[in-house]
Amino acid sequence: MAPSEKKHASNQACVIPGGFTVLPVQFNSDSVAQHKLYVKEHKVRSDRSSHRPMDRTLFVLNIPPYCSEDVAKQMFSQFGSVQSVELMDNPGPLAQDSGPKISKFFRPAAKQGFKVGYVVFENSSSIAAAKSHPHNVPLVVCTEKCRVKTGTQKWIQQYTESFIRTDNLQKIVDSFMEGYDKRKKEEEEKQKEEAKQQQEDEEGWVKVTRGTKARPHSEAANKKTLQTVIRKNKRKELMNFYTWQHRNTQKEHIAELRKKFEEDKQKIALLRVQRKFKPY
């Protein structure tokens, strides 16, 4: 893990312990202050998914909130053409949503904070280019070519974009529900099939397969059965039948009273410490 320590006077890459290269970034050319991006090639043991190929993916930390995926793509394209950019709140594999594709109007709003990104380049050479980027030449978010809207401009744009034609919305709903009904039907059929398999055939045999269980149990139902059992057992028990039982109840009662008394005493002591009895 020793990056080539080329000693150039000023424009060398800055590498910190942990193997991250520091890339300064500023909003536009007039900015005085810079945020620091921390980049490294993407390297994990478990993730073998195809959309983050290890040799071509750059792992980027601390991407400022005004950097959208498009802006990031633009920004990193100076190291080579970018195939895709993924921005997330926390590092880790993409949440696997197996569900159907949903329209952006139905997705929960994304958090507008600092992000981590996975930039997938088309060529693996771009990674090296990014990692050797000199630390005193900042990347620029908002350039002449690619304006980034912030503040009131952005909010007005957001407001305008929140409008959707009613018939379009209706179409989205309809298509989703169609898909939902279809999936539902399929599931039902599958269940029916399984139920059929579970049934006895004419000769009284049940075919036992390794497949999924017929019905998922519910936790609530489990609890309920457990409680009925407990209740049943309790009913069988005799209370205050033997002398020792009776004596015990009395003892418990006195203990309870004692505890309450102690509690009160302690409450008072506590209040006294806090000077809660000084009327004025």
Partner 1 sequence: MKNKQPVADDAAEMIPSESHEEQEKEAPSKAKRSKPEDAGGEESVYHPVKLSRSDLYKPPSAEELNQLKEAESLFHCSLLKMQMEELLKEVALSERKKQQIDSFIQTVTKLIQTVPESPEVEVSDLSWLSSEVKVPFLLVPKATKGKFHMVPPASVDLIGSYPLGTCTKPRIRVDLAVTIPADVLHPKDVVNQRYPRKRALYLAGLAQYLASSSEIGTMRYSCLHGNRLRPVLLLTPPGKDSSSFTVNVHACPPPGFFKPSRFHPQKNNIRTEWYTGLQNSQSEGTEPPTPHYNSSVLGDLLPRPHLQFLSAVGSQCFAFADGVALLKVWLRQRELDQGTGCFNGFLASMLLAYLLNSRRISNSMTAYQLLRNSLNFLASTDLTVNGISLAKDPDSSAPSMEEFHNVFQVVFVDPSGHLNMCADMTACTYKQLQHEASVSMQFWDNPTVDGFHSLLMTPKPMIRTSDHVFQLCDLVKLQSSCKKLDLLSELMDHSGNYVHATLPFILSLLQQGLGQRISLLTHSLSPDPEWSVESEAPKHKAQPPLCFGLLLKPELAASVLERGPPADSPKSAEFRQLWGSRSELRRFQDGAITEAVLWDGKSMCQKRLVPRQIITHLLQLHADIPESAIRYVGALLDDVIKTGSEVPSTGEEESLLVVQSYDDLSRKLWRLEGLPLSITAVQGAHPALRYTQVFPPVPLKMDYSFFDKEKTSRSLVPKEGKPCPAYITPITVICHMEGSGKWPHDRLAIRHIRTAFHIRMGELLKKHHNYTCKPCPTHLDVWKDGLVFRIQVAYHREPQVLRESVNAVGLLVVRDNEKAQALEMATNHKPILTSTLHGLQQEHPCFGAVCRLAKRWLGAQLFSEDITEDTADLLVASLFLQPAPFTPPGSPQVGFLRFLNLLASFDWRNNPLIVNLNNQLAVSDYTEIKNDFMASRESLPVMFIATPKETKQSMWTKKGPTVQMLQRVVMVAAESLKLLEHQLMDSNQTQDVRVVMRPPLDAYDVLIQLNPKQVPLLVQAVDPPTVTFSRGAIAGSAGQTGGALPVVDYNPVTLYLAELREAFGDLALFFCDPHGGTVIAVLWKPKAFMPTPFKTSQLSARSVEVTGDEAKTIPNVEAILEDFCVMGKGLIKSVEARTEKWSF
> What is the b/e burial string over 165-204, where b = at least 16 CB atoms within 10 angstroms of the residue's CB?
eeeeeeebeeeeeeeeeeeeeeeeeeeeeeeeeeeeeeee
Q: 138: Cβ–Cβ under 8 A, 6 or more apart, which residues?
A: 23, 24, 25, 26, 34
Distance of alpha carbon 44 from alpha carbon 93, whole angstroms: 10
Query: Are 30 and 41 a contacting pair, CB within 8 Å?
Result: no
Q: Choose the binding region for partner 1 from 71-79, 98-106, 203-211, 230-238 (rule: CB under 8 A).
A: 98-106
Query: How near is the Cβ of 273 to partner 1 at its closest, in Å?
Result: 5
Task: Tell me which DSSP letter residue 261 carries.
Answer: H
> Of residues 44, 61, 128, 129, which one binds partner 1 by CB under 8 A?
61
Task: Tell me which DSSP letter residue 123 carries.
Answer: S
Distance of alpha carbon 194 from alpha carbon 172, whole angstroms: 33
Task: Tell me which DSSP letter residue 51 carries.
Answer: T
Distance of alpha carbon 146 from alpha carbon 123, whole angstroms: 23
Is 38 one of the binding residues for partner 1 (CB under 8 A)?
A: yes
Identify residues 223-262 at the interface with partner 1 (CB under 8 A). Answer: 244, 247-248, 251-252, 254-255, 257-262
Pick the closer one to partner 1 by CB: 116 or 128. 116
Pick the closer one to partner 1 by CB: 125 or 251. 251
Identify residues 117-146 at the interface with partner 1 (CB under 8 A). Answer: none
Is 198 one of the binding residues for partner 1 (CB under 8 A)?
A: no
**Count of residues in contact with partner 1, rule CB under 8 A:** 90
Is 213 one of the binding residues for partner 1 (CB under 8 A)?
A: yes
Closest CA relative to residue 29, chosen from 143, 146, 145: 143
> Of residues 34, 77, 123, 197, which one binds partner 1 by CB under 8 A?
34
Pick the closer one to partner 1 by CB: 81 or 150. 150
Distance of alpha carbon 141 from alpha carbon 29, whole angstroms: 9
Query: How near is the Cβ of 163 to partner 1 at its closest, in Å?
Result: 5
Interface pattern 143-182 for partner 1 (x via CB under 8 A): -------xxxx-xx-xxx-xxxxx--xx-xx--xx--x--
Query: How near is the Cβ of 275 to partner 1 at its closest, in Å?
Result: 8
Pick the closer one to partner 1 by CB: 125 or 250. 250
